[in-house]
Amino acid sequence: MTERTPDAYVELERQLETRTAELAEERAYQSAISDVLRIISESPSEIRPVFQAIAERAMTMCNALGAATTRFDGELVHLMGYTTSTDVPDKAVEALLRAYPMELGQAGLNTRAVRECATINV
């Protein structure tokens, strides 16, 4: 039987902590997906609650101050869901709400995401 050194135990503990954190993140991801799928099944004809749930779960999972989801109808980008932490000033939320709908050519993270077909994380 091989004898373990203190350094080997430290390394094993580090690996265990890393794996535990990875599993917790995966569980949170699966829980968020499950929540969104549940909302889709509860309101199949209404998409706003789904977009709102996606924004809320994204904010939580990214540990962000806010999140927004948009929909492009072929002409305009529409705000479909948003959420913010209490640290975001009311004026910033009001400006967000006033900005939509947006033309695709307008400057903005959400219009850029649509143009580039990409997720943007700030």
Mean pLDDT score of the chain: 87
102 phi, psi to nearest 5 deg: -120, 145
Confidence of residue 1 (pLDDT cuts 50, 70, 90): low
Residue-wise pLDDT for 70-99, tens only, equals 999 999 999 999 998 877 888 988 988 899
Report pTM: 0.71
Q: For the chain, which domains are there?
A: 6-116 (3.30.450)
What DSSP state is assigned to residue 21?
Answer: H
